[in-house]
Amino acid sequence: ENSPAPLPERAIYGFALFLGSWFGFMLYLIWAYVPETWLFSLGLTYWPQKYWAVALPAYLLVAVGIGYILLFGINMMSTAPLNSTHTITDNYAKKQQQKKFQEEAIPALRDIPISEVNRMFFLPEK
Amino acid sequence: MEERRYRSASGAPIALRRRQHSASCRELAVRCPRLQLRSLSAVTSAVWLVAYGLFVLSENSMVLSAAIFITLIGLIIYLHFVKIDQESLLVIGSLGIQVTSSYASGKESTTFIEMGQVKDVVINEAVHMQKVIYYLCILLQDPGDPQGVSEVVPLFQSSKPRLDCLIEVYRSCQEILQQRKTAPQ
């Protein structure tokens, strides 16, 4: 149903986006380079200041650079500290129900408590 | 009493000393590497070079005295509040667990956790500063829920021993903690 195969509608969307982005780019170049007097003589007096033709790309690039650092910082902030219980368990593990043990059946999936895991890994002598 | 050498998570040499005071009382102490003379001289030279550069630029001799002052005060603060010399764990079977940190200036800070609050001592893995490290921690019991953990107390935070040292400490602690289950209440 939701396959990524090409469809006629998708071809039309793609072409519309292609034309739209070329048109937008040409408009941006005209706005940035054509002198103001020529634009006034055509009647286009209420376009934004040309200052923004340089300022917006500069803002965008700085935002992308800051975004790298911001993402790194957000990741570091959301890492649980060493003294938090989130390193041991979470809501799903606390509320899990114990299924009954059935003979000859694969045991149900569950979160094993950390004490049990430690005893299994570290107590047996080599 | 025995002492064995291990490595910390960053590769520095540390030493673990185990003492058995009685059948239900054990003390485990991890000694961190001492302050190295070469790192101390490197930091001092760097600070004094920067101060000399500022003095050459600004022609103000107060910069040099300030740099000497800052270096001395910084060293004292570092030795008294930051540089940990030894971290020890004293496990007394029926009483509790005492965690002591001794700083390089001689200051000791102690925390005692009584045995009723201790659920277990486990080796946990967690993400810490772009690395995954093993660390020993005490799980405190949640008074309302017998299966729940109310708090996690990480141990050996500044010496950060590697897994082989942690396994030794873990086994020693578990021998004592298991006695309280078999002993009559």
Q: Where are the domains of chain A?
A: 8-45
Mean pLDDT computed over B128-149? 90
Residue A62 is predicted with a pLDDT of 97
Q: How many CB atoms lie within 10 A of CB B88?
A: 20
Q: Of A46-55, A103-112, B19-28, which gets the smallest average pLDDT?
A: A103-112
Cβ proximity of B54 and B65 under 8 Å: no
Mutation for testing the A interface, residue in B113, B119, B127 having most A CBs under 10 Å:
B127
- Which helix (H) or strand (E) segment holds residue B17: the answer is strand B13-22
pLDDT at position B130 over 90: no
User: What burial class does residue B99 get, using C-beta atoms within 10 Å of its C-beta: 0-12 exposed, 13-18 middle, 19+ buried?
Assistant: buried
Cβ proximity of B121 and B137 under 8 Å: yes
Considering only the beta carbons, identify the residue of B151, B152, B171 that sits closest to A122. B171
Each residue's pLDDT tens digit, B25-66: 999 999 998 888 999 999 999 999 999 999 999 888 888 999
Closest CA relative to residue B75, chosen from B107, B36, B40: B40
Residue A126 is predicted with a pLDDT of 65
Residue A98 is predicted with a pLDDT of 78
Residues 6+ apart with CB under 8 A from B159: B8, B14, B30, B31, B32, B84, B87
pTM: 0.80
Q: What is the percent of chain B with per-residue pLDDT over 90, rounded to a whole number? A: 77
Mutation for testing the B interface, residue in A83, A84, A98, A126 having most B CBs under 10 Å:
A83
Cβ proximity of A53 and A35 under 8 Å: no
ipTM of the complex in this document? 0.79
Residue B181 is predicted with a pLDDT of 74
Question: What are the extents of the domains in chain B?
Answer: 2-35+83-182, 37-81
Please tell me the distance from the alpha carbon of residue B87 to that of residue B143, in angstroms, as a whole number. 28
Residues 6+ apart with CB under 8 A from B170: A118, A122, B121, B122, B123, B136
Strand order, beta sheet including B149-154: B118-128, B131-141, B149-154
Closest CA relative to residue A82, chosen from B91, B119, B99, B138: B138
Residue A61 is predicted with a pLDDT of 97
**Residue A104, both tokens:** 């000859």
Mean pLDDT computed over B85-101? 94
Residue contact A83–B154, C-beta within 8 A: yes
Q: Which residue numbers of B have CB closer than 8 Å to A's CBs? A: 119-120, 122-128, 135, 137, 139, 147-154, 157, 167, 170-171, 174
pLDDT at position A35 over 60: yes
Closest CA relative to residue B180, chosen from B94, B103, B121, B109: B94
Q: Of A26-40, A97-111, B40-54, B90-104, which gets the smallest average pLDDT?
A: A97-111
Closest CA relative to residue B83, chosen from B15, B20, B33: B33
Cβ proximity of B68 and B62 under 8 Å: no
Residue A96 is predicted with a pLDDT of 83
Give residue B1's pLDDT band: very low, low, confident or very high (50, 70, 90). Answer: confident
Mean pLDDT (chain B) is 91
Q: Closest Cα of chain A to B177: distance in Å?
A: 12
Give residue B184's pLDDT band: very low, low, confident or very high (50, 70, 90). Answer: low
Cβ proximity of B28 and B172 under 8 Å: yes
Mean pLDDT (chain A) is 91
Please tell me the distance from the alpha carbon of residue A116 to that of residue B16, in angstroms, as a whole number. 26
pLDDT at position B185 over 80: no
Residue contact A83–B120, C-beta within 8 A: no
- HSE (CB half, 13 Å, CA atoms) of B90? 12
Q: Closest Cα of chain B to A20: distance in Å?
A: 44
**Residue B150, both tokens:** 């109310």
Q: Of A39-43, B142-146, B156-160, which gets the smallest average pLDDT?
A: B142-146
Give residue B111's pLDDT band: very low, low, confident or very high (50, 70, 90). Answer: very high
Each residue's pLDDT tens digit, A69-126: 999 999 999 999 999 999 998 888 888 887 777 788 888 888 889 999 999 999 988 6
Please tell me the distance from the alpha carbon of residue A33 to that of residue A31, in angstroms, as a whole number. 6
Please tell me the distance from the alpha carbon of residue B150 to that of residue A85, in angstroms, as a whole number. 7
**Residue A64, both tokens:** 């992308």
Please tell me the distance from the alpha carbon of residue B139 to that of residue B53, in angstroms, as a whole number. 52
* Residue corresponding to tokens 């103000």: B60
Residue A95 is predicted with a pLDDT of 84
Residue B129 is predicted with a pLDDT of 86
